[in-house]
Amino acid sequence: MIEVRNLTKTYMTHERGHTLREVAKNLIRRPMKEIRAVNDLSFTVEQGEMLAFLGPNGAGKSTTLKMLTGVLHPTSGEVRALGLIPWKQRREYVGRIGAVFGQKSQLLWDIPPADAFYMNKAIYGVPDRDYRATLDELVTLLDVGDVIRKPTRQLSLGERMKCEFIMAMLHRPELVFLDEPTIGLDMIAKENIRGFIRSMNRQGVTFILTTHDLGDVEMLAERVMVINHGEIVVDDSLGGLRSRLGDKKSVRLTTESAVPDIRQQGLSIIERIGPLEIEIEIDISLLPLKRFIREFNEAYGIIDMAIESLPIEAIMKELYSEGAKSEIAASR
Ligand SMILES: Nc1ncnc2c1ncn2[C@@H]1O[C@H](COP(=O)(O)OP(=O)(O)OP(=O)(O)O)[C@@H](O)[C@H]1O
C-alpha cells in the first residue's frame, strides 16, 4: 500500500548565531545551514495496517507525513502510495486518502458540520446514494445525530473531533493519516474516538497515526515505528518492542524499614513515594524477581508489594533519549 525508499528531506535555513556579535554579522552575510529532517527512511506499509509513527519533538514525523500526503517534495528518495506518487499525482491521491489533525480543524466555525460535510461531498464528487449511506453509518457509529446540525463553534471538543472524523471519512478513503487525533479529549471521548478508528480499521482502512499520547498507541497500534533525528530507531510490534528492551518490571513496595540509595545491577529506584514506600524498576533478566523479593524481605521487611510490567512510557523514554540507537542495535 505504501512503499518508501531512501526518503530524505533537508531544509535550508539561515544561521543566526549565538552571540550578539554573530547575530549582527550573520544579518549581513546570511550563511545558510542545512537541516536533515528526514534521513534515508525506507519502509513499507501493508493494506489494513495500523501503524503508530512516533518520535520526540523535532524527530521528523511531520516532515515525513507531509511527504507521504504529497504536500512536500522530498530532497531525494521515493514514495509510492496506493500506486501513486503523492506529490506528483496529487489530485487523484487526495481523493483516496483522508487526514485528521487534532490541532487543525477542517470544519467551518460558523456553519454546522452537516453543511461542511455536504461541501466535502461536492469537492470529492461523492454520489448522492453513497454519501447518504456513509453519513448515516458514521453518524450512528459516533452517535452525533443532533450534534451535526449545531454550528461548529457551539460544539464541545469531543463532539467536534467526532465531526472531524466524519469529514475525513465521507469519501471512503483507503488510507488515513491521523496526527494527534485525541489531543485534549477526556477519557470517554478518547475511548469513543479510538473505538471508531478500530472499527474503520476492521473495515480495511489503513491508518498511520502520529501521537504523543501513548494511550493511543497501546489501544490502537499493532506496529510501532519510532524515528529520531530523521532515522528509524525501531520498527516492531508493540509486544516485540516490550521484549526487545529487556524484561523490565516496576515494583511498588511498602517496607518495615526505609530502603537506602542502593546500587545493584538490574535495579534502579524510580520514585520515593513516602518514607517507607518506594517504586523500583527491575530488569528480571539481570535480577530475577524471586531473588529480589527474598533479598529485600530479609533486608527491609516487605509489608506490601505490587508488580507491574513497565509501562510503555518508560520504553519510549529510553527510545527517545540520546543513545537509544546504539542500545537497540546492540539488542538485535
Ligand atoms: N520549514 C522548515 N524549515 C526549516 N526547518 C524545518 C522546517 N520544518 C521542520 N524543520 C526542522 O526539521 C526537523 C524535523 O521537524 P518535524 O516538524 O518534522 O518534527 P516532528 O517530529 O514532527 O516534531 P513534533 O513532534 O514537535 O511535531 C526539526 O529540526 C525542525 O526544526
Which pLDDT value is given to residue 327? 44
Distance between CA atoms of 224 and 62, rounded to whole angstroms?
Answer: 16
Our answer on whether the CB atom of 35 is closer than 6 Å to any ligand 1 atom is yes
Distance between CA atoms of 1 and 49, rounded to whole angstroms?
Answer: 9
Our answer on whether the CB atom of 63 is closer than 6 Å to any ligand 1 atom is yes
Burial environment of residue 191 by CB neighbours within 10 A (0 to 12, 13 to 18, 19 or more)? middle
pTM of the model: 0.80
Cell match 465521507: residue? 170
| Nearest atom in ligand 1 to 66's CA | 18
pLDDT tens string 260-303: 998 888 899 989 999 999 999 998 888 988 899 999 999 999 99
pLDDT tens string 26-83: 777 777 788 999 999 999 999 999 999 999 889 999 999 999 999 999 999 999 999 9
Would you say 87 and 73 are in contact if contact means Cβ atoms under 8 Å apart? Answer: yes
Cell match 482502512: residue? 205
- Please name the residue whose Cα sits nearest to atom 3 of ligand 1: 11
Q: How far is the CA of 60 from the centre of ligand 1 (A)?
A: 6
Which pLDDT value is given to residue 42? 96
Helix (H, G, I), strand (E, B) or coil at 309: strand
Q: Tell me the β-bridge partners of 9.
A: 38
- Please name the residue whose Cα sits nearest to atom 17 of ligand 1: 62
**Domains of the chain with bracketed CATH:** 2-242 (3.40.50.300), 245-331 (3.30.70.250)
* Residue to mutate (ligand 1; options 9, 11, 320; most atoms within 8 A of CB): 11
